Every structure is written in structure tokens, then in C-alpha cells.
Structure 1
Amino acid sequence: MSKTLTLANIAVAKGKTPLVCLTAYTTPVARLVDPHCDIVLVGDSVGMVLHGLPSTLGVTLEMMILHGKAVRRGLERALMVVDMPFGSYEEGPEQAFCNAARVMAETGCAAVKLEGGEVMAETIQFLASRGVPVMAHVGLTPQAVNSFGGYRVQGKGEDADRVMRDALAVAEAGAFALVLEKVPETLARRITEEITIPTIGIGASPACDGQILVVDDMLGLFGDFRPKFVKRYTELAQAAETAIAAYARDVRERRFPGIEHVFGHTTKDIERGDQT
């Protein structure tokens, strides 16, 4: 059995071999990604990916705990991080600690992730000082998509100063790593150079200390969803559709089930339609 990675393993990866990170929401997928990943994130993207929600805003704490438990059962090596959903931490440090402590206790995760920069620095410091490791997330923060007016690149032009301040603030507050989402490449590179904690890019820069994608995106499970920052490594949606169509034809034409799939009948029984 492989030794489970720790926060110390993540910290020393700064500036070295990039960290490999993917999302997972179920036990089978967790088992698939575990041997290859350093960090597995149970993301609140589960709301859109598995539950068909239009955004992450409808995701609940109970949903994150349910999927966190499922992923935990499939991991042996990777460090597991669980997203704090919208509304579970913004009220203040005490609310954040209460909910984060529950997530850690019930899922067995090593850390939580929350969105926001300077405005969340006090909360990050409060959590980190009380034994709750925090992965921060700045740039495009999907839980604030309504404030941003959509899923737009953050940190362009003069706005770069804001994103840089956010990154510096969460690092100083005690976050152990930082997700940089959908920011200009030059800004992500500069942030990576200036802060002391590992940066995890998604639509950011190859200079980041690690990269993360939603596993369903990189596997091509969404045929019509092709954001610029996702590289598809296969097309599982197309393969699945082909397989499902073949199954449907076999059922309608009585090719499935065959004799090898049923119990207590011979080939002759199947051929004459014996129902006894």
C-alpha cells in the first residue's frame, strides 16, 4: 500500500516537479485517479457535473460530505481536499470553523478549500491556527460568478493588482496552497514566483507548481463543453454513446442476453423460447 501524501509533501513541491491534481466525486473514479495524483479535490463542481445544477451555488454541505465520504473510500495515496460550498463559510471565521471541522471529521479529508482573497484572509488564519488546513482559491472564483458577470478571465490590466493582493493575503494568512483559476498567464507566473506556497493552475500558467482539471472534462464526458483551458485526453462521451446504442440494438433484436448471460437454460431452451 502506498503511503498517503501529507501537507508537508505538498509544501516541499514548491518549484519542483509539478503537482498533479484532479477532481473526483465517487469511489470508482477516486480509485482510478489515486495512483497518479498528488491531490484529489472533491470539488463543488459536483453540483454541475453530477447533479445537473446550472452553477455551484446550489451545492450544500451535505452534498459535499456525501461525496467526500465516497472519495475517501477510494484513496490510498493522494491528499484529499474538500470544497467548502457557498454559504458555509462566508459569514465569519466561527461559522467557517464549525462547518470545516464537520467536513474533516465526517469525510476524513486532509484539508478544505475555500474561495476568496483578502476578504477571506482572517478566516483562513482562524482555521489554520486551529488545525484546519486551507487550500485557497483566487482569480475566477465560481461561487462569485454572479458578481463577475459570468465565467470571465480575472486579473486583466489594472485588475492584476487585485488578484496579486488576494494571492499574497491568503499565503500570508496561512493557506498551504493556492488555486489560480482563469487568470492571464503572465500574472499566474508572477504570483507563483512571489508567494512561498505552491500554486495550482487551472486556466493559468505552465509555471504554476501544479495543475488541476475537472476529471470529467479531461476525459471528454461532456461532448459540447470545450473550454480553452481543458485538454481532452480521450472522448469517453462518444465511446459511451456508441456502447449504449449497441446495447439498445442488441436488446431490441434479442441478441442480448445470450446463453452465457442467463441461468438454468441450455442453448436449445433459448432457441425455442422455453419459459419454464
Structure 2
Amino acid sequence: MSAAARKAGLAPPQVAARKSGAPLVCLTAYTTPMARLADAHCDIVLVGDSLGMVLHGLPTTLGVTLEMMILHGKAVRRGLERALMVVDMPFGTYEEGPEQAFRNAARLMAETGCAAVKLEGGEAMAPTIRFLCARGIPVMAHVGLTPQAVNSLGGYHVQGRGADGERVRRDAAAVAEAGAFSVVLEKVPEPLARRITGEIAVPTIGIGASSACDGQILVIDDMLGMFTAFRPKFVKRYAELGAAAEAAIAAYADDVRARRFPAGEHVFSQAGDGGAA
């Protein structure tokens, strides 16, 4: 069996069947160690194109490539046993048309072992979603704030306020009808997210949306306090690992400069001490 082969775990139909059931727990992951930590507790692990900003220091997700997603997808696959693995399709790999989307989605699935792909967009992307689903590629859709459209949206603003709510409702309905097994709702007003959740037949996964959604997702580095460049309102910090890591690095630097490290227990004698070589 290849390293990328899919291990037994949740499948898209099982996720779809969770509509109005126990809330789906979702997090992003980009590395094998984080995937292992998330796997025991999460239903879905997303290899998000947010890795461009979180891990690679890019200003937006627009510079993320298919090769980057495949590299990190392979790493995450090695760390999962049960969670459903979804991989983001990066900007420029699916918008041209259904055939382009199929080629790149098929490559993502073949090379990473993921069970589904995620792509951004509403009504305009419904034909592509339908095309992919008809050819055996499960799709998680993403409407509301779509970060890959940051330039046309004019920034990372709340979507769907006032009359604009009808656009987001149409987008969610269109992608669900096209066959998406779940729909991410990002940064939309709470009443709108609640309404959409009640209107569409597949699970909604909220991020800056509503507790009424069928599931929730956060960027793992945000909720662990490891990514500190900015903090969206919708993020709850469950730890401050960035601050803890900085303190540990400072303590190490102090010990090295004061010659406190390495101490006797960290070095090896000439005669051997019975420990590791």
C-alpha cells in the first residue's frame, strides 16, 4: 500500500448524513504532527490554502500553488487514521472551467490520498461542482467571504449584510443543489448563517457564522495562538502556544549564552554511560 493510500475513516456521505445531527468538529492542519493531534478529536481535517499565510508568510492565499497543497497534503495524510481529509484547491486551479478543475482535483486526490476537495465560489461555480461530483470527486463548497476573491471583494469584510444576504443564500443553495456534500459559511451575519443552515439539505460548517451551523472550523494555528500576525473576531484562542514557544526559545538562548546548556546530563562520557550512543 502506498504512503498516500486512504486509511479507513469518515467518508463524504457520512459527513453529509450528519445534517442536523451532532455538530461536525473541523480544523485545518498542514503537517503530520498537527494532523495526528487533530485526528483523535476532529471529524474533518482541512489542508487549507491558509497555509500560505500561516506557514509561508504570504500576504494572502493567492500565491499558494498546487504543488504546495500536494506537499502539505501528503504530510497530513500520514497523520490521519479516522478524520475525513479535505484539501483546498488553490487559486487559479479550477476557475477556468470544469475540465481544468477535474484535472487538478484528480491530481490532488491521487497524490495526497485525500477524500475530497474544497473550492470557493457560489452560483458561478455550481456547474464545476456538478461536473466534479458526477465524476467521482466529492466537493466541499465555500461561500460568504471567499479569501481567494479578496481583491474583488475589497478586503476581508463581512459578507451578506442587508440585501446582500440574498446573494449569499443563492450561492449556498446553488452549490448544495450542484452536489456539494457540505458548505463552509465564512464571515456572514449570524441570522443569515442560521437561515441558510435551515434551508439547505447538506451540512453547513461555520467560521465566523453561527453556532446553529452543522459544524465549525478554525485555522489550527489561530486557535492555538501560534499565528499572531492578526486575530479575526471569530477566533477563540484555546491556548497561547506562540507566547509559550517564544518564552522557551528565550530561556534556551539565555542558557546557551550562560553556558548552562548543555549540562552534564546532556553530554556523553568517554567510557560510556549505558545510555544511547
Q: Which TM-score bucket, shorter chain as reference?
A: over 0.9
Q: Aligned residue for 1:51?
A: 56
SS of the aligned residue for 2:62 comes to helix
Q: Could you tell me how far apart the structure 2 residues matched to 1:155 and 1:230 are?
A: 20
Work out the CA distance in 1 between the residues paired with 2:227 and 2:66.
25
TM-score scaled to structure 2, two decimals? 0.94
User: What fraction of aligned residue pairs are identical, expressed as a percent?
Assistant: 78
- The match for 2:164 is 159
Partner of 2:174: 169
Q: Note the C-alpha offset of 1:224.
A: 4.8
Cα distance in 1, alignment partners of residues 99 and 8 from structure 2: 33
Q: Secondary structure at the match of 1:56?
A: coil
Partner residue of 2:3? none
Counterpart-to-counterpart distance in 1, 2:64 and 2:178: 26
- State the alpha-carbon separation in 2 of the partners of residues 223 and 100 from structure 1: 31
- Aligned-pair distance for 1:260? 1.4
Deviation, structure 1 residue 6: 1.3
Does the 8 Å contact 2:222/2:237 carry over to 1? yes
Aligned residue for 2:253?
248
Give, as a single letter, the amino acid of the residue that structure 2 aligns with 1:110: A
Partner-residue secondary structure (3-state), 1:85? coil
Whether the aligned pair in 2 keeps the contact of 1:259 and 1:265 (CA below 8 Å) is no
**Contact 2:49–2:90 (CA under 8 A) maintained in structure 1:** yes
Alignment partners' CA distance in 1, 2:214 and 2:126: 21
Post-superposition offset of 1:8: 2.2
CA distance in 2, matches of 1:146, 1:60: 18
When residues 99 and 223 of structure 1 are mapped into structure 2, their CA distance, relative to the original with a 3 A threshold, is closer
Computing the radius of gyration over CA atoms, which structure comes out larger, 1 or 2? 1
Q: What does residue 67 of structure 2 align with? A: 62
Contact 1:223–1:238 (CA under 8 A) maintained in structure 2:
no
Query: 1:12-44 deviations in whole A, cap 9, x for unaligned?
Result: 211011000000000000000000000000000
Q: Is the 8 A contact 2:29 2:47 kept in 1?
A: yes
Alignment of 1:74-85 (within 5 A): 74-85=79-90
- Do residues 86 (structure 1) and 91 (structure 2) align? yes
Deviation at 1:263, TM superposition (A): 1.8
For 1:130, the equivalent position in structure 2 comes to: 135
Matched, 1:227 2:210: no
**Alpha-carbon displacement from aligned partner over 1:92-116 (angstroms, at most 9, x marks no partner):** 0000000000000000000000000
Find the counterpart in structure 2 of residue 264 from structure 1. 269
Distance 2:270 2:157 in 1: 61
Q: Which of residues 210, 216, 225 is equivalent to 1:211?
A: 216
Look up the match of 1:239. Answer: 244
- Aligned match of 1:270: none
The answer to whether the 8 A contact 1:180-1:202 is kept is: yes
Q: Does 1:39 align with 2:38?
A: no
Deviation at 1:5, TM superposition (A): 1.0
One-letter code aligned to 1:245: A
Measured after TM superposition, the shift of residue 182 of structure 1 is: 0.2
Counterpart Cα distance in 2 of 1:158 and 1:88: 31
Per-residue Cα deviation, 1:43-63 (whole angstroms, up to 9, x for no partner): 000000000000000000000
Distance in 2 of aligned mates of 1:54 and 1:218: 20
* Corresponding letter in the other structure for 1:19: L
Alpha-carbon distance between aligned partners in 2 of 1:114 and 1:223, rounded to the nearest angstrom: 26
Question: Alpha carbons of 1:30 and 1:222: their partners in 2 closer, same or farther (altered >3 Å)?
Answer: same
| Cα distance in structure 2, aligned partners of 1:137 and 1:223 | 24
Structure 2 matches for 1:113-128, cutoff 5 A? 113-128=118-133
Residues 3 and 93 of structure 1: CA distance in aligned 2, closer, same or farther (over 3 Å): closer
Q: CA deviation at 1:141?
A: 0.1
Moved more, 123-132 or 215-224: 215-224
Provide the C-alpha distance between the structure 1 equivalents of 2:227 and 2:114, rounded to a whole number of angstroms: 28
| 1-structure distance, mates of 2:133, 2:25 | 23
Amino acid at match of 1:240: A
Structure 2: any 5+ residue segments left out of the alignment?
A: 1-6, 272-277
Instruction: Number of aligned residue pairs: give it.
Output: 265
Map of 1:269 onto structure 2: none
Long gaps (5+) in structure 1: 267-276
Shift of 1:265: 4.8
Cα deviation code 1:134-174 (max 9, x no counterpart): 00000000000000100000000000000000000000000
Q: What is the root-mean-square deviation in Å for CA atoms of aligned residues?
A: 1.1
Name whichever of 31-40 and 10-19 sits farther off. Answer: 10-19
